[in-house]
């Protein structure tokens, strides 16, 4: 009753092939190949025109302003939450003190 019943594994019904035998092969040392010469790709030099520089400065300024606005809003959210928790703590403290005075 308290002994577990283990399932029996069925025997394979198809033909069983023996495992393949892998024979080791001999490794013969060879002469090392000379390293290939480094290939230098032809790159064009980047030229900043006044319009491109102005676009880069404008894009950087926009990124800084957006990141700053997000950080300031997160700081403001934390500050508002802290003030609301402090107000709740003061109200609870006054309620508990009033309850203690009545007794």
- CA 76 – CA 70 distance, rounded (Å): 10
Q: Which residue has the tokens 């959210």?
A: 77
pLDDT > 70 fraction of the chain, expressed in percent and rounded: 93
pTM of the model: 0.46
Q: Which two tokens stand for residue 46?
A: 């980047």
- CA 23 – CA 33 distance, rounded (Å): 28
Q: Which residue did the predictor score with more confidence, 12 or 56? A: 56
**5-41 pLDDT, tens digit each:** 877 877 766 676 777 777 877 777 777 777 777 777 7
**Residue 90: pLDDT over 90:** yes
The whole-number pLDDT of residue 68 equals 97
Average of per-residue pLDDT values in the chain: 85
């Amino acid at each position: 009753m308290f002994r577990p019943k283990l399932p029996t594994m069925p025997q394979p019904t198809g033909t069983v092939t023996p495992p393949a035998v892998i024979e080791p092969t001999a490794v013969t040392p060879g002469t090392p190949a000379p390293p290939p010469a480094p290939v230098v790709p032809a790159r064009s030099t980047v030229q900043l025109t006044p319009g491109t520089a102005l676009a880069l400065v404008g894009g950087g300024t926009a990124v800084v302003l957006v990141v700053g606005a997000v950080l300031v809003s997160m700081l403001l959210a934390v500050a508002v939450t802290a003030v609301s928790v402090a107000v709740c703590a003061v109200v609870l403290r006054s309620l508990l003190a009033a309850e203690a005075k009545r007794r």
